[in-house]
Chains A and B, each alone.
Chain A
Amino acid sequence: MTGGDAPVVEGASPRSATQTGPIRAVPVRHPWRWAMAAVLAVLVAMLVHTLAFSTTEQPHATGSRFGWDVIGQYLFSSHVLDGVVVTIELTIVAMAAGVVIGVLLAVMRMSKSRLLSSVAWVYIWFFRGTPVFVQIIFWYNIAALYPHLTLGIPFGPSFVTLNINSLLTPFIAGSLALATNEGAYMSEIVRAGIISVDEGQAEAASSLGMSRSKTLRLIVLPQAMRLIIPPTGNETISMLKTTSLVSVIAVPDLLKSAQDIANANYRIIQLLIVASIWYLAMTTVLSVGQFYLERHFSRGSLRSLPATPLQRLRQDLTRLRPQGKPRAEAMAKEFREALDPLLHGRDPLGAPHD
């Protein structure tokens, strides 16, 4: 096994302290860590037992306490899968619209016009100051307030009149509620990102003759991304879970689908577990994406990148063999390089290339 800058001679004689080379010291012992680990091991065993092996206490029923057979039966049922699709759609629509609203609000907020910045301020104040749950119910019932949507000249003649009740399906009402609410939160994230970009950047762009909108689009926003992306990832994960609130207005999302089934077969816990498994799976996928995105965008601002979970696993596995470490690093480098083109749209801060 070769590789690394500091090759280790196998079977080398013990080195004295003055000699250079890899350090082989006796590590500090941690008895309390071992005690804690023992306690945790017992707790984990109990958890596994109750999850997998304990039987139900319900009269006239057999099988495992958690009803894994029922869970397995419904996990991939078409009704649940439809719900998963609706949840994903809601998340995408709400986040996409939320980001657009957020950018608009952030720009309005920073505008020199008092009117624009006040309107943005009131919007943010209102939508952050009331529960999103209330906003969802509000949008669902807005037809009671405005039964018709009329297109025409304000205070003048109208051209088209639309019926809000038929226009505002539960899905659209839910998306609107989530998007308008998300916009208020995204605007603060975008604003923080824009503020972080050095003023000299906008000045340099202006001095080339760029208009304000081009400056924002081509120079400021791309640089603000480094600060905007990580919290937006968090918002997306949070949104995925928040979409479950729209089940209250009968949007057939994941939670609503699970509830529908449970209403028919009374296996409430099992179907909640089905829903939870799906939520966990989806948030896990998003978290992994988030990790790599953040890692990518931290280039140029961190001196060394945090190890990926795979790299950490490798390091743990190879720690026992001293020669293994350079190799693990070489593999990690290979892995990074293989991954690079996938993540590499354009290097935001120009990390050194080889």
Chain B
Amino acid sequence: MIEPMVRAEQVWKSYGSLDVLRGIDLEVSVGEVLCLLGPSGSGKSTFLRLINHLEKLDAGRLSVAGELVGYRERGSKLHEMTDREIGVQRAAIGMVFQRFNLFPHLSVMDNVTIGPVKVKGATKAVASERAVALLERVGLKDKMASYPAQLSGGQQQRVAIARALAMDPKLMLFDEPTSALDPELVGEVLDVMRGLAADGMTMVVVTHEMGFAREVADQVVFMDDGEILEQGVPSVVLSNPTNDRFQAFLSKVL
């Protein structure tokens, strides 16, 4: 049996007395694009952040490429990983944020090379060469020397994608990558993501872009209140939602 890229089993997460995720079961196969839908506060970001251990889960099991995230299993006991070990896991998982989070004190070039150079120990020359290729891919080769503040939102997000890709991740996480963008800039970012999907990148995408979900996703998951309420192939679930809350949600966003 082939290991899925992401496997979540009964994942629970609470903040104090607030149960944000209540038993999430989910699998993302290699090369698959999963779109995560749900109203605000349903726990989508929290789930995404659990996958690269920016948050710790409270119960359940979560593994990426067959490896538990953040823990090592010895016998029947779980041991917390060190900062460094978690770093190694995270380096293989790219993340793109709603608010880009580019490093404003670094040029576009340095934003893209800092990961490979400082985390993977790549040489500047090799990292730069790769960065040029990636920036060309996202259509920003001419912005290499610019600083993030000099770019439009859409350009910044494309740099952020290039920055994540520079680590050669096996999985990409996108947390509402186009929500902070002016409508006319959404397309350029989605185009880059479409390209990635076509190249076989495994992706988990939180989005409100139904068109993108319908067209690109292999699997659509609807979450509300920390639970998965509906799940399936987009052509089926987006056209004929069975869950009431999903129907209500879709009628609002479409």
Are chains A and B native binding partners rather than an unrelated pairing?
yes
Tell me, in angstroms, the Cα distance from A218 to B103 when the chains sit together.
10
Within 8 A of A (CB), among B152-208: 160, 163-164, 167
Instruction: Please pick, from A205, A207, A214, A352, the residue contacting B93 in the complex, using a CB distance under 8 A.
Output: A207
Tell me, in angstroms, the Cα distance from A119 to B90 when the chains sit together.
32
Given A347-B147, A350-B146, check contact A207 B54 (CB 8 Å).
yes
Give the total of B residues in contact with A, Cβ under 8 Å. Answer: 35
Tell me, in angstroms, the Cα distance from A252 to B166 when the chains sit together.
57
Q: Specify which chain A residues have a CB less than 8 angstroms from the CB of B119 in the assembled complex.
A: 208-210, 214
| Binary interface encoding of chain A residues 320-354 relative to chain B, with 1 for a CB under 8 A from any of its CBs, else 0 | 00000000000000000000000000111111100
Q: Are A352 and B54 in contact (CB under 8 A)?
A: no
B150 at the interface (CB under 8 A from A): yes
Q: Are A200 and B101 in contact (CB under 8 A)?
A: yes
Q: Specify which chain B residues have a CB less than 8 angstroms from the CB of A352 in the assembled complex.
A: 150
Q: Specify which chain A residues have a CB less than 8 angstroms from the CB of B95 in the assembled complex.
A: 204, 207
Instruction: Please pick, from A203, A208, A212, the residue contacting B163 in the complex, using a CB distance under 8 A.
Output: A208
**Shortest CB distance B176–A (Å):** 13
Q: Are A219 and B97 in contact (CB under 8 A)?
A: no
Residue of A nearest to B116 (CB): A208
A87 at the interface (CB under 8 A from B): no
Q: Are A204 and B97 in contact (CB under 8 A)?
A: yes
Q: Are A208 and B150 in contact (CB under 8 A)?
A: no
B61 at the interface (CB under 8 A from A): no
Instruction: Please pick, from A204, A207, A209, the residue contacting B103 in the complex, using a CB distance under 8 A.
Output: A204
Most chain A C-beta atoms within 10 Å of own C-beta, residue among B87, B88, B97: B87
Q: Specify which chain A residues have a CB less than 8 angstroms from the CB of B83 in the assembled complex.
A: 211-212
B233 at the interface (CB under 8 A from A): no
Most chain A C-beta atoms within 10 Å of own C-beta, residue among B93, B118, B150: B118
Given A204-B103, A208-B167, check contact A349 B90 (CB 8 Å).
no
Instruction: Please pick, from B52, B99, B103, B107, the residue contacting A219 in the complex, using a CB distance under 8 A.
Output: B103
| Binary interface encoding of chain B residues 100-125 relative to chain A, with 1 for a CB under 8 A from any of its CBs, else 0 | 01111101000000110011100000
Q: Specify which chain A residues have a CB less than 8 angstroms from the CB of B52 in the assembled complex.
A: 207
Q: Are A201 and B147 in contact (CB under 8 A)?
A: no
Q: Are A218 and B104 in contact (CB under 8 A)?
A: no
**Shortest CB distance B213–A (Å):** 23
Q: Are A223 and B104 in contact (CB under 8 A)?
A: yes
Instruction: Please pick, from B92, B114, B118, B150, the residue contacting A350 in the complex, using a CB distance under 8 A.
Output: B150
A4 at the interface (CB under 8 A from B): no
Tell me, in angstroms, the Cα distance from A198 to B102 when the chains sit together.
11
Q: Are B84 and A211 in contact (CB under 8 A)?
A: yes
**Shortest CB distance A285–B (Å):** 28
Q: Specify which chain A residues have a CB less than 8 angstroms from the CB of B101 in the assembled complex.
A: 198, 200-201, 203-204
Q: Are B147 and A349 in contact (CB under 8 A)?
A: yes
| Binary interface encoding of chain A residues 181-214 relative to chain B, with 1 for a CB under 8 A from any of its CBs, else 0 | 0000000000000000010110111111111101
**Shortest CB distance B249–A (Å):** 27
Q: Specify which chain A residues have a CB less than 8 angstroms from the CB of B148 in the assembled complex.
A: 350
Give the total of A residues in contact with B, Cβ under 8 Å. Answer: 26
Q: Specify which chain A residues have a CB less than 8 angstroms from the CB of B89 in the assembled complex.
A: 209
**Shortest CB distance A341–B (Å):** 16
Q: Are A208 and B105 in contact (CB under 8 A)?
A: no
Q: Specify which chain B residues have a CB less than 8 angstroms from the CB of A210 in the assembled complex.
A: 87, 115, 118-119
Q: Specify which chain B residues have a CB less than 8 angstroms from the CB of A200 in the assembled complex.
A: 97, 99, 101
Residue of B nearest to A352 (CB): B150
Q: Specify which chain B residues have a CB less than 8 angstroms from the CB of A207 in the assembled complex.
A: 52, 54, 90, 93-95, 164
Q: Are B97 and A209 in contact (CB under 8 A)?
A: no
Q: Specify which chain A residues have a CB less than 8 angstroms from the CB of B87 in the assembled complex.
A: 206, 209-211
Given A207-B54, A218-B118, check contact A350 B90 (CB 8 Å).
no
Q: Specify which chain A residues have a CB less than 8 angstroms from the CB of B167 in the assembled complex.
A: 208-209
Q: Are A348 and B54 in contact (CB under 8 A)?
A: no
Q: Specify which chain B residues have a CB less than 8 angstroms from the CB of A351 in the assembled complex.
A: 149
Q: Specify which chain A residues have a CB less than 8 angstroms from the CB of B114 in the assembled complex.
A: 208, 218
B91 at the interface (CB under 8 A from A): yes
Given A208-B90, A300-B149, A350-B146, check contact A222 B97 (CB 8 Å).
no
Instruction: Please pick, from A203, A205, A208, A350, the residue contacting B104 in the complex, using a CB distance under 8 A.
Output: A350
Q: Are B149 and A208 in contact (CB under 8 A)?
A: no
Q: Are B105 and A346 in contact (CB under 8 A)?
A: yes
Q: Specify which chain A residues have a CB less than 8 angstroms from the CB of B105 in the assembled complex.
A: 222-223, 346-350
Residue of B nearest to A219 (CB): B103
Residue of A nearest to B117 (CB): A218
Q: Specify which chain A residues have a CB less than 8 angstroms from the CB of B54 in the assembled complex.
A: 203, 206-207
Q: Specify which chain A residues have a CB less than 8 angstroms from the CB of B93 in the assembled complex.
A: 207
* A residues whose Cβ falls under 8 Å from a Cβ of B: 198, 200-201, 203-212, 214, 218-219, 222-223, 300, 346-352
26 residue pairs of the A-B complex, CB under 8 angstroms, read A200-B97, A200-B101, A203-B54, A204-B95, A204-B97, A204-B101, A204-B102, A204-B160, A206-B87, A206-B90, A207-B54, A207-B90, A207-B95, A209-B87, A209-B90, A209-B115, A209-B167, A210-B115, A210-B119, A211-B83, A211-B84, A218-B114, A348-B105, A349-B147, A349-B149, A350-B148
Given contacts A204-B101, A208-B114, A350-B149, 7 further A-B contacts (CB under 8 A): A200-B101, A203-B54, A209-B87, A209-B120, A222-B105, A348-B105, A349-B104
Q: Which 9 A-B pairs have CB atoms at the shortest separation, nearest pair first?
A: A350-B147, A209-B91, A204-B101, A208-B115, A207-B95, A200-B101, A209-B87, A209-B119, A209-B90
